Structure 1
Amino acid sequence: MIYKSNFKNMNSITLENDLLKVIIIPDLGGKLVSIYNKSSNFELLFQNKEDSYKKPELNSDFGSFDASGFDDAFPTIDISKINYQGQEILYPDHGEIWSSPFDYRFIDDYLELTFSSRILPYNYKKVIHLEEDTVKIKYTIANKGTSPFPCIWAMHCLVNCSEDMEIYFPKDTTEIINVHDSTVLGKKNSIHSYPVTKDINGKDYNLNRVGSKDLNKTEKYYINGIVNEGECSIYYPENSSLFMINFDKNKLPYVGFWVTEGGFRGDYNCALEPTNSFYDDIDTAFNNNKLYYLTPKEPLQFEISLALRKVEK
């Protein structure tokens, strides 16, 4: 079923069946704020630590707001500038979707969310529904202008961390590239073997696990190269819960991983981030020759499936 609701002072939409309860806030870019499995009594998404949401504006600083739940990062992750038809266009921090109100309508048990950009001539649509223990999201991003423009789409889905969680990158992943200077992994752009590498002190470091919140650090790295399959997952032994992401590896050929072990505002969360460009800002992706361009004749269309199921392993 699907119905209007209220979540932390915001008008919201709830999708619910026998297994899952999912809450979406249209006025915050169609943000998913809760994915809850009823049988395991487990909330997947990292929650807003405040009792209410602040409403961001275009060009707001992402880190000054809730930094929780599942936001779409588009048309960039980090602030970028482009030249479009002779004009300089600023791409906001984490894009413009997270700060933008969406229109919505119900189509049977489907939620359709739509938005027209304030900075570029594109329309953005996502359609969300539940199938048993899985949230399915279908995206259509259409360039309504006359010229292509560069863009990054990234799944920015912040999930709760625990020290016993196990992270599974797409199969055959053997290397990652560190994209932030790190006290553990060393300099930006250093390459490490996966799933176990050596830290800067020569000690084993598990890239498929997270440390404690007390470490007071953050890490960001990507699979080095394109993925071999469109699937990654996280297993939570304490809750007997498996979170599985399925995506089109041809549309989203790169996967990043972000974790804050207390280093960002004291938060304890992580995110597997399928994306269409490599990596994070327009200039970097351009220089890497791994930048996507949205053309007027070919909308970007893809589907992401988020399963949250109770399992015994």
Structure 2
Amino acid sequence: MTTEQGVVNSLSTDHFDLTVDLERGAKITSLVDRTGREWLAQAEPGRARAPGAPFTDAEMAGWDECAPTVDACVVNDEAMPDHGDLWDHPFAGTAAHASIVREGLGFAFERSIREVPGGIRMSYRATALRDRIPFLWAAHPQFCAPPGTRVKIDAVRVVDVIDPDEPLIAIDDALATIDTVDAGGYRKWYADPQEPVTSASLVRADGSQLDLAWSDNCPYVGVWFDNGAFSREPIIAIEPSNGYRDALALAMERDRVLFIEPGAPLEWWVDVRVLPALNFTDEGSRNADSCAPMPEQA
């Protein structure tokens, strides 16, 4: 494993090359496997993020960490920003270990990345600085989803969280693929919160597969499909979380979130492993559906 410090922080393992932007909330901006395939959506070339811009006005790409909420809400008279309080702040450290202290919200956050058999492990720690606090974390990886991309998940039913009535419906192939999301549209569902889920896979039409698994103290998972509604290319985000649902206030109301006790840090992990496609015939086809930067619009 090697790391490089500087404007661009990189980390290489036997299975992936990663790039991390510490100034941008330790966002993982690139996750390239050994076939040269980029798994993460890429920011528009030349697009600069304006300081203080809303999350959806920033570059919709890469892997962010959302905490202590995803949806904006108010908890104990404290306003929690959209997509959390981490993504818009600089971290200290390197690609291999990054950290931040959010004094106003009373917590410190760390993420370490190391090699494990078949892939990488992201290990997390959140520490209460003063008082016992509720803490909702969700991963926010925006994976490239070319036609035919689908999610494979060990769930029987899912909750449509776009519908205000939150219907619980049987999952089927149509709900699990990007192909059934209208151009300019989106979809989000959570696996049934009554049935913990700790793994899911992103499967592309060529058979290549990215497997995610996570610790059992993160029993919830949401899946977001975006076919150009906010992103500039089709994406699927598999979002393991320790709370249900996206707003910390709602998760507290439903008693589906963890608390951090002073002196007892909260720790969890996410593993990422890749299964290569089996039908590559040459280098050109190998990278045919990779997330290469798109040309700028005229």
Q: With structure 2 as the length reference, what TM-score do the two structures score?
A: 0.86
Q: Which residue of 1 aligns with 2:89?
A: 100
Aligned residue for 2:202?
Answer: 234
1:285: how far off?
A: 1.3
Cross-structure match for 1:46: 41
Please tell me whether the aligned partners of residues 212 and 261 of structure 1 are also in contact (alpha carbons under 8 angstroms).
no
Q: Does 1:12 align with 2:8?
A: yes
- Distance 1:5-1:123 versus aligned 2 partners, 3 A rule: closer
Unaligned runs of 5+ in 2: 280-298
Could you say if the C-alpha distance between residues 104 and 55 of structure 1 is closer, same or farther in structure 2, counting changes exceeding 3 Å?
A: farther
What is the rounded CA distance, in whole Å, between the counterparts of 1:117 and 1:271 in structure 2? Answer: 26
Residues 282-306 of structure 1 show CA distances to partners (whole Å, capped at 9, x for unaligned) of 2221232212222213211011111
- Report the alpha carbon displacement of residue 241 of structure 1 after superposing the two structures with TM: 1.8
Partner of 1:224: 192
- SS of match in other structure, 1:272: strand
The residue aligned with 2:270 is: 304
Judge conservation of contact 1:140–1:302 (CA < 8 Å) in 2.
yes
Matched residue type, 2:169:
H
Aligned twin of 1:199: none
Q: Which amino acid aligns with 1:61?
A: P
- Residue 260 of structure 2: which of 294, 303, 311 is its match? 294
Query: In 2 relative to 1, CA 210–100 (structure 1 residues): closer, same or farther, beyond 3 Å?
Result: same
Contact 1:144 1:296 in 2 (8 A): yes
The alpha-carbon deviation at position 4 of structure 1 amounts to 2.9
Given residue 227 of structure 2, which amino acid in structure 1 is its aligned partner?
E
Superposition RMSD on alpha carbons, in Å? 2.2
- Secondary structure at the aligned position of 2:148 is classed as coil
Q: Match of 1:292, as an amino acid?
A: L
> Which one of the candidate residues 107, 119, 125 is aligned to 1:134?
119
- Structure 1 distance, partners of 2:270, 2:248, is 23
The residue number in structure 2 matching 1:195 is: 172
Counterparts in 2 of 1:20-59, with a 5 A limit?
20-39=16-35, 41-54=36-49, 56-57=51-52
- In the TM superposition, 1:152-167 aligns within 5 A as 152-167=136-151
Q: What are the equivalent positions in structure 2 for 1:236-251 lying under 5 Å apart?
A: 236-238=204-206, 240-249=207-216, 251=217
Task: Give the C-alpha shift of residue 132 in structure 1.
Answer: 5.8
- Pair 1:75-2:60 in alignment: no
Please give the alpha-carbon distance, in whole angstroms, between the structure 2 residues aligned to 1:304 and 1:266: 27
Give 1 or 2: higher strand fraction: 1
Task: Using CA pairs under 8 Å that are at least 6 residues apart, name the structure with larger relative contact order, 1 or 2.
Answer: 2
Aligned pair count reads 279
Go from structure 1 to structure 2 and tell me whether the alpha carbon gap of 1:265 and 1:20 turns closer, same or farther (over 3 Å shift): closer
Quote how far apart the aligned CAs of 1:126 are: 1.0
Q: Which residue of 2 aligns with 1:201?
A: none
| Superposed CA offset, 1:143-192 (max 9, x none) | 021x22222100101000122123111x2x111111113xxxxx540121
DSSP-derived class of the 1:43 partner:
coil
- Secondary structure of the structure 2 residue equivalent to 1:125: strand
Give the secondary-structure state (helix, strand or coil) at the position aligned to 1:215: coil
What TM-score do the two structures reach when normalised by structure 1? 0.82
Identity of aligned residues (%): 20
Contact 2:196 2:220 survives alignment (8 Å): no
Unaligned runs of 5+ in 1: 182-186, 197-205
Looking at structure 2, the residues matched to 118 and 78 of structure 1 have their Cα atoms a distance apart, in angstroms, of 20
Per the TM alignment, residue 273 of structure 1 is displaced from its structure 2 partner at its CA by 0.7
